[in-house]
Amino acid sequence: MGSNGKVPVWLDCDPGHDDAFAILLAAYHPSMELLGISTVHGNASLANTTWNTSSILTAIGKPDIPVYSGAAKGLIRPAVHADAIHGESGLDGTRLLPTPLTPFKTEPCIPAIAAALFKTPPVTAWVVATGALTNIALLFQAHPELASHIKGLSIMGGALGSSFTTAPMGIVNDTSRIGNYTPYAEFNILVDPEAASFLLSHPILSLKTTLIPLDVTHLVLATKDVQEMLHYGKTNLNSEETGSGKGSGKRKCSVLRTMLLELLLFIAKTYAEVFGITAGPPLHDPLAVAALLDSIPGFNPLFQDYLQPGHRERYAVKVITEGTHAEALAGEAQTGRTVATLLDEGEDGIRIPRGLDVRRFWDMIEDCLVRADEVNAKK
pLDDT digits (tens, 9 = 90+) for 296-342: 999 999 999 998 888 999 999 999 999 999 999 998 999 999 999 99
- Quick one: average pLDDT of 117-145? 99
Give the rounded percent of residues in the chain with a pLDDT score beyond 90.
86
| pLDDT value for 242 | 40
pLDDT of residue 122: 98
What's the chain's length in residues?
Answer: 379
Cα 14 to Cα 29: distance, rounded to the nearest angstrom: 20
Q: 47-56, 167-176, 257-266 — which is least confidently predicted? A: 167-176
Query: What is the enclosing helix (H) or strand (E) of 364?
Result: helix 358-377
Strand order in the sheet with 32-39: 67-69, 32-39, 7-13, 126-129, 152-156, 209-212
Please report the pLDDT score of residue 57 as a whole number: 99
Domain 7-221+283-377 indexed as CATH 3.90.245.10:
yes
Longest CA pairwise span in the chain (Å):
63
The stretch 53-75 carries a mean pLDDT of 98
* pLDDT higher than threshold 70 for residue 247: no
| Res. 234 pLDDT band, cuts 50 70 90 | confident
Q: Is the pLDDT of residue 244 over 80?
A: no
Whether 68 shows a pLDDT value over 90: the answer reads yes
Nearest-angstrom CA–CA distance, 275 and 265: 15
Residue 119 has pLDDT above 50, yes or no: yes
Concerning whether 284 is annotated as a catalytic residue, the answer is yes
Show the beta-strand stretches assigned E in the chain: 7-13, 32-39, 67-69, 126-129, 152-156, 171-172, 175-176, 209-212, 241-242, 245-246, 303-304, 315-319, 338-342, 355-356
Tell me what pLDDT residue 245 has.
Answer: 36
Taking residues 99-126, report their average pLDDT.
97
Average pLDDT, the chain: 94
Domain borders along the chain are 7-221+283-377
241 pLDDT more than 60: no
Mean pLDDT, range 286-291, rounded to an integer = 99
pLDDT number for residue 171: 84
What single letter denotes the amino acid at residue 348?
A: D
Looking at 18-27, 200-209, 285-294, 304-313, which range is the least confident one?
304-313
Name the active-site residue from 17, 86, 202, 284.
Answer: 284
Whether 246 has a pLDDT exceeding 80, the answer reads no
- Lowest mean pLDDT, pick from 8-17, 57-66, 236-245, 333-342: 236-245
